[in-house]
Copies of this chain bind each other. A is one copy, B any other.
């Protein structure tokens, strides 16, 4: 982050999210970040009350750029089945997204990160439920299928992180997604 002007809170937030993606929230250090941005650590406390506020700013930055913006793009796709395929397929094109997701999700019990995670989750579940409603399912079934879909989505990242061999190639992921979405689009019994 090279800037001739003065540092904005957004600069700190962006650099923090970068650091979080790489080494996790626990390893986020005000001192390291300050020297990386070329200022003293005392300067940080002009912009933020404490380290927690920096984590919050980073998480809010993620909520806006990673989630809200993504949904606006996806909503443009007319066919709900195609929208689901794209939504879940897209997520695997950006491994960095999975890293941030994992780093933040690990801190749901954190009082500042927790509410943001919950907002994003509710928003994604609602978005996915809407797609299943458009596919013709009744509301309870649609919500249900959205839960399964989103669980499988998060779990897929978890499996991949936990075992690099399991979902390594694009072919495996595509087959996985195809089978999952076929199952989920099948009529309710």
Contacts and interface: CB of A to CB of B under 8 A. Distances in A.
Interface string A58-77: 00000000000000000000
A163 interface: yes
Residue of A25, A162, A163, A180 contacting most chain B CB atoms (<10 Å): A162
Contacts of A148: 152, 176, 179-180, 183
A93 interface: no
A103 B105 contact: no
Interface in A25-52: 25-26
Interface stretch (A1-9, A11-19, A117-125, A131-139): A117-125
A159 B183 contact: no
Contact of A152 (B107, B109, B151, B166): B151
Contacts of A155: 150-156, 158
A148 B189 CA distance: 20
Nearest to A183: B183
Interface string A162-183: 1110110000000110011011
A154 B158 contact: yes
Nearest to A106: B106
Residue of A150, A151, A183 contacting most chain B CB atoms (<10 Å): A151
